[in-house]
Amino acid sequence: MVKKCVVASGVLIRDDRVLMVKHRRLGVYLYPGGHVEEGETPIETLVREFEEETGLVVEPIGYVHGIKDDNVVERPLPFVILEEVVQYPEEVHIHFDLIYLVREVGGVLRSGMWIDISDIDSIETYPNVRNVIKLATRAINTLYRGKNV
């Protein structure tokens, strides 16, 4: 049986560059993120994984409808949700990847690589990762130009 996992990832774009990390098992560049662990929300996973993998503290940015209720907390929507078949060397997973746009709010960069958006087609990664980064770049440049994100 194929393992199914919820994953949360973050795309951080600054000055037409995206922060990426080389995945240790897959050997390709990805935006920081990882599996949602038991007892975590996807946003908690996103923040934890981003800091573990890069040293930076981030928060998600995304559309909020404005739903108000005493027993409900509305969270920013992911930028995109992808169902991905991931071929690890020893097994196959299906990832339900909640990919957020994020902004930096603290920390110190310890690892990761800033990649120029114009070079995204030449790095070792997956086509869907390239597509998400290109879409995220357009969204950031269109929706958030001139704003502190």
Please report which confidence band the pLDDT of residue 38 belongs to, taking 50, 70 and 90 as the band edges: very high
Query: Taking a C-beta distance cutoff of 8 angstroms, is the pair 10, 112 a contact?
Result: no
Taking the domains of the chain in order of start, what are their residue ranges? 2-144
Query: Predicted confidence band at 144 (pLDDT cuts at 50, 70, 90)?
Result: low
Q: If you average pLDDT over residues 30-56, what whole number do you get?
A: 97
Q: Does the pLDDT of residue 149 top 80, yes or no?
A: no
CA distance 88 to 122: 22
Phi, psi (deg, nearest 5) at residue 98: -90, 110
How confident is residue 145, by pLDDT bands cut at 50, 70 and 90? low
* Topology of domain 2-144, CATH: Nucleoside Triphosphate Pyrophosphohydrolase (3.90.79)
Give 146's pLDDT tier (boundaries 50, 70, 90): low
Q: How confident is the model at residue 143 (pLDDT cuts 50, 70, 90)?
A: confident
- What is the reported pLDDT for 88? 82
pTM for this one? 0.90
Distance of CA 12 to the CA centre of its chain: 8
How many Cα atoms are found within 13 Å in the side-chain-facing hemisphere of 31?
29
